[in-house]
Amino acid sequence: MNLKIKTKFTAAVLGLACSLFAFIGCDDSGGGGGGGGSVFPVAAAPDAPAVTVGDGQLSLTWDPVDDADTYEVWYAENSVSTDDAVLADDNITDTEYLIEGLTNGTTYSIWLKAVNISGTSDFGAMATGIPNVAPDAPGKPSCAAGDEQISVTWSAVDGAASYEVWYNKLSTSEDPEDATLADDEVAGAEYTITGLDNGFSYLVWLRAKNSAGVSGYSPVSDECVPVPAPSAPGKPTILEGDTELSLTWTGVDWATYYEVWYAENSDSTDDAVLADDNVTGASYVLEGLTNGTTYYVWLKAGNSAGCSDFGPGDSGTPDVTQFTVTYYAGDGNTLGTVPVDTSTYVADAEVTVKTNSGNLVGAVIQDGISQRFASWNTLANGTGTSYAPGAKFNITEDVSLYAIYTDTATVVAKVGPSGGIVFYDAGSAQSWGRYLEACSSDLGRLTWGTNGVDTGADGSAIGTGELNTAEIIADDSATGNAANACNNLTITYNSTLFEDWFLPSVNEMAQVYSVLNTAGISRLNTGFGYWTSTEFSVDVPYDYNVRWGFSEHNYEKNTDMCLTCPVRAF
């Protein structure tokens, strides 16, 4: 009969058992390897345990060993020899154990022994573990773009053994959970992601890891766009100035900066000196040069992927040459004076074209009506470059500007006898005249009259404004109002006195707006309404909204103020 007893006995009990059951052949010697003739063999040495690391601890689990009643756990610090092993526990009845109080970052070797009634096994297979705590997430990575690649750098994280690098196209997703893993075992604090698409924005995240686990994602990087290194720029355009050269050039694809190099009296790049290595636009001014000395200039283009070779060069000689702008009355001029520009300009300086401040007018058409000033031109016949008053240009030579005038036979939108703008032509003489002319300037904001007074100024048609004005003055005792101001206005133009002004009717004011607006004459102030002489009620006259181009009746006679545009008939 074969009999196995798997109960652990103390030495005393074991001896008694051997006396009582001598016929079985017990041996109470114990120890590894067992005694001869024992029925209970010593258990086999265990396999290496599975090790899970933690903060200052190692958690062990292992497969049970047949015939084992208990287990011993042994470990050694920074050694793989069992000669250095320390017993952690010798009475473990389960198949798991936690070794605590260890030093994070230190390598430990672990062995097991199995124990039963017959003795203790040899050391089992070795396992290793490094206690640790999972690292914090890395900080925001820095990225530098290259040709189809991104170079990523970051600050090392305490306790991290390696890093994971994740990336994604911005157009695809901004969520790290959707990102692509570039590498999950990066040992240093830098990595290059390759095989990317040039011209697309990418985002990068990091995770730190060690034997204890993996951190969360880092903050996302700034957008990074892989690009190829740019080609060399073309030859710069050089404008010479006083102790300086102004450079412009055509931008290069993919370039994010340019380098400007120059050499004095040498056309060899071997003699070139770097003036600036971070020019972000396509222009630059080399300053502090010597007038009369020839300088050669070259450019390079660069970006995060690299910098080009030198482009072709060109030369320039700084000079103190300065330019002037001269104005002329132009062909057909009959009245007025030209503006005078007393300034001198260095090369490429900005010039603001002067206005027609001297009231230039062209040839007489009929009845004292003349062609209107239209613009300035670099040629007297108007076939050169045209500039409107107030326009700006960069000067590179002496400039002559000639007054150009309208040249059509119609008199509407032309200059009247008093220097104003003709806004109506009846075609033939009427009871009030044939033409209507708007004054060249407003009288400002005035009141209209007195509330409650019925002046009878109800004419709205063209040709009724003068009568309306007379009725307002006769029936409303208020002085200083719009009608009185127009009636009292006197203007001397071309040695002639004009004192026949009146407040326009509502249709006459509409015609002023229509003609001036269509002709592009910036004469009216669109910030306020204009009075008309047409009465809407005893409290409210018509006014004209020149911002939107319609008449209305929103303002009271003696409390509100509108602009006043005097007109005259002839």
Report whether 359 contacts 491 (CB < 8 A). no
DSSP 108: E
Q: Please state, in angstroms and as integers, the Cα–Cα distance from residue 362 to each residue in 1, 125, 223, 264, 513, following that order.
A: 141, 112, 62, 53, 23
Other CB atoms within 10 A of residue 1 CB: 3
DSSP lists the bridge partners of residue 303 as: 306
With a threshold of 0.75, does the pTM exceed it?
Answer: no
Residue at token pair 């040992």: 187
Other CB atoms within 10 A of residue 67 CB: 18
The first and second tokens of residue 561, run together, are 């103020």
User: pLDDT by residue (tens digit) across 515-526?
Assistant: 999 999 989 999
Q: How confident is the model at residue 273 (pLDDT cuts 50, 70, 90)?
A: very high
The average confidence (pLDDT) of the chain is: 91
Strands (DSSP E) found in 157-243: 162-169, 180-186, 190-194, 202-210, 213-214, 237-241
pLDDT > 70: what percent of the chain? 93
Could you tell me the sign of the dihedral formed by the alpha carbons of 182, 188, 194, 196, in that order?
Answer: positive
CA atoms of 544 and 530, how far apart (whole Å): 5
Amino acid at 529: G
pLDDT > 90: what percent of the chain? 83
| pLDDT at residue 34, as a whole number | 42
User: pLDDT by residue (tens digit) across 434-448?
Assistant: 999 999 999 999 999
| pLDDT at residue 510, as a whole number | 98
Among residues 510, 495, 517, 512, which one has the least CA distance to residue 568?
512
CA atoms of 98 and 113, how far apart (whole Å): 16
CA atoms of 370 and 337, how far apart (whole Å): 15
DSSP lists the bridge partners of residue 552 as: 543
CA atoms of 217 and 151, how far apart (whole Å): 18
Cα-based angle 385, 389, 392 (whole degrees, multiple of 5): 65
Least confident among 150-154, 262-266, 342-346, 391-395: 342-346
| pLDDT at residue 23, as a whole number | 34
| Mean pLDDT for the stretch of residues 152-181 | 92
Among residues 193, 100, 113, which one has the least CA distance to residue 153?
193
For residue 147, pLDDT over 70 is answered with yes
Three-class DSSP category at 467: helix
| Mean pLDDT for the stretch of residues 48-70 | 94
Q: Please state, in angstroms and as integers, the Cα–Cα distance from residue 65 to each residue in 58, 87, 106, 122, following that order.
A: 21, 19, 29, 13
| Mean pLDDT for the stretch of residues 103-118 | 95
Residue 347 vs residue 529, higher pLDDT: 529
Helices (H), 236-377: none
| Mean pLDDT for the stretch of residues 139-149 | 93
Q: What is the CA radius of gyration of the chain?
A: 50
| pLDDT at residue 105, as a whole number | 85
| Mean pLDDT for the stretch of residues 64-90 | 96
Q: How confident is the model at residue 212 (pLDDT cuts 50, 70, 90)?
A: confident
